[in-house]
Structure 1
Amino acid sequence: MDRITLGNEEFEGNNNTYVLAGDSADGDGGSLALVDTGIATPDCRADLREGLAERGYEFADIDAIVLTHFHPDHSGLAGEIQAESDATVYVHAADAPLVAQDTDATAAFDQRRRDALEQWGLPAAPKAELLAFLEAADGIQGEPADVTPIEDGDVLEVGGHRLETVHAPGHAAGLCWFEISDGAESDATEAFVGDTILPVYTPNVGGADVRVERPLEQYLDTLERLVVRDYDRVWPGHRDPIEEPSERARTIAAHHRERTENVLEVLADHGPADPWTVSAHLFGDLEGIHIFHGPGEAYAHLDHLSQEGVLDLEGGEYRLTVDLERVDLDAVLPSITDST
């Protein structure tokens, strides 16, 4: 396994593409696979072509592409590579229509995002700025791909490796990590995790994929499953490998617990508010894609507290149903497992 770092600074820092090379499953010659592809921009495309060339490969040599999720910085070059190589493109069934750029699916996704902007209370100016940013970024999703949908538990034999699919919703509806389980007699100790956890940032929850129902709850469940697996090392979609992934998952869970406390304090101090207003108290001024991610994350916490009966939603605003001192955070937001 080898890693190619791609120059993408807009989304969470430099992207990673992982190159898997080995004997094919049927023993008929070599097999070459990629885990994620990077974004469809000239710089990223050049980085990937150059990285492959340094290893003696080109797009046409690729047999399989395994995508952790649909976001363009992970899937954007899949269709282009497939057009040159006829590679099989694997992605979870929830994200498959978006990678395939199915007309109905992409239209429904776009409308759901626009509806969210209304529901979250974005004022006209930041909404216009965000929509202009998204329009300018049109094309980064690249060419549509002919996809092969996968589900939790599916095993892929690609690039001389055996990868077991683990569905990990939260950041995205179809996000998966892939256990590297090459030895039949040994437990997997490493995995490709995409944006399940990241070494520097906390993956956005709520704004990154508006299709996810109860996004915070689903993401915390995903972190719990990652801790239970207790990998020695994981390979994220951005930046460097994570050597203590269970500890990183617990740190991110603790971050969300602290953010929940901050959301409650905003409502206690300032009264009922919509997600945009709460976001402004939490994050201040936002720009670019963060105009979406900020209120989206605020929404994820507000929605969770509302579902747990701590908040009421009326007229687009959330308000406390009990005094702040009476909120039992241990009941509302259970801690991640301390031991495996």
Structure 2
Amino acid sequence: MDRISLGNEEFEGRNNAYVLADEDDGIALVDTGVATPDCRVQLREELAERGYEFADVDDIVLTHHHPDHAGLAGEIQAESDATVYVHEADAPLVEADPDAVTSLEELRRESLSEWGVPADAREELLAFLEATSGVDGEPVDATPIEDGDVVAVGGRTLEAVHAPGHTAGLCCFEIGGASETRSGSDDAAHAGTEAFVGDAILPVYTPNVGGADIRVERPLETYLASLRTIVDRGYARLWPGHRDPIDDPAARALTIRDHHRERTENVLEVLTEHGPADAWTVSDHLFGDLEGIHILHGPGEAYAHLDHLRHEDVVTLEDGEYHLIDPDADIGEIVSSSH
């Protein structure tokens, strides 16, 4: 397995694409980078240094639909006829299915309105999305997969471990996979193995929840459950979508969980100090001025925590504003034990 670090100035920094190669099973990529001229040239050059071209790629495994991970998949597939695997929840978006795209756009508009995002900020976000629409790349002919599926690519077997939250269809891929005799429910059987995790866990940043994929219901709850899944499987090392490998997955997952506990406490402080507020107002107190994609991610993150608190009966939602009803709630217990 070989890691390629690709440039990406549109979103959250350098992306990883992973090359799996085998004389008999061919060449596979796990994620592809964003469809910008610079990234395209870089990926071609990096593959050429390893003796490959786009046309040589037999399989592409996508951790999720975001363009910084899937943007070049369609172009590579057009040159190579590669099979592109992606979770069934994200497949319609990488395929650019018109109904899925329209539904997402409508849901985004509704969410921005419900979160209280001002008209000028909404216009700025939509202008940013329009200006960067080319990074999505060419549509893909996807092969949908689901949790527990095993694909044989590049001399390895990869078991899909559905880990929604950052997106509805985000999957980790356990390297080595599950053999026919190993139970996918036996977490001990996975201990000591490694996995590609996309943006499920990142070594420095915390993956955005709430704004990164507004299709996800109960986004914080869903994401925390995915963190527990990853911890329970006892991986020895994780290969993320950005930056360097994670050599202590459990510790990193606990750090991210603690981050969400602290952020939830911060949300409560905003409501305590300033009274009822919508998600945009809470976001403003948490993050300050936002621009670009963060106009979506900021209030989305605030919404994820407010929504979680609402389902835990800590706040109530009335006319678009969240009202604090249990200021003494044990946030540590709510975040660590919610399911």
Query: Normalised by the size of structure 2, how large is the TM-score?
Result: 0.94
Aligned counterpart for 1:154 among listed residues 149, 154, 160: 149
SS at match of 2:261: helix
SS at match of 2:172: strand
**One-letter identity of the residue aligned with 1:173:** A
Q: CA deviation at 1:183?
A: 9.0
**One-letter identity of the residue aligned with 1:118:** S
How do 1:289-300 and structure 2 match up within 5 A? 289-300=293-304
SS at match of 2:134: coil
- Structure 1 CA distance for aligned equivalents of residues 127 and 210 of structure 2: 21
SS at match of 2:35: coil
- Structure 2 CA distance for aligned equivalents of residues 169 and 182 of structure 1: 19
Show CA shifts across 1:10-66 (max 9, x none).
32210010000014xxxxx34100000111110110111011000000000000000
How do 1:1-340 and structure 2 match up within 5 A? 1-23=1-23, 29-181=24-176, 187=190, 189-322=193-326, 324=327, 326-334=328-336
- Structure 2 CA distance for aligned equivalents of residues 223 and 250 of structure 1: 8
Q: How many residues align?
A: 330
SS at match of 1:162: strand
Q: CA deviation at 1:181?
A: 1.5
- Structure 2 CA distance for aligned equivalents of residues 30 and 123 of structure 1: 52
- For structure 2, the residue ranges without an aligned partner over 5 or more in a row are 183-188
- Structure 1 CA distance for aligned equivalents of residues 232 and 266 of structure 2: 28
SS at match of 1:333: helix
Q: CA deviation at 1:128?
A: 1.4
**Is contact 2:25–2:153 with CA below 8 Å preserved after alignment?**
no
Taking only aligned residues, the RMSD between alpha carbons, in angstroms, comes to 1.6
**Is contact 2:159–2:178 with CA below 8 Å preserved after alignment?**
no
Residues 45 and 2 from structure 1, CA distance in 2 versus in 1: closer, same or farther, beyond 3 angstroms?
same
Alignment match, 2:185? none
**Is contact 1:253–1:335 with CA below 8 Å preserved after alignment?**
no
**One-letter identity of the residue aligned with 1:235:** W
**One-letter identity of the residue aligned with 2:7:** G
**One-letter identity of the residue aligned with 2:130:** E
Query: Normalised by the size of structure 1, how large is the TM-score?
Result: 0.94
**Percentage identity across paired residues of the two chains:** 69
Q: CA deviation at 1:335?
A: 5.1
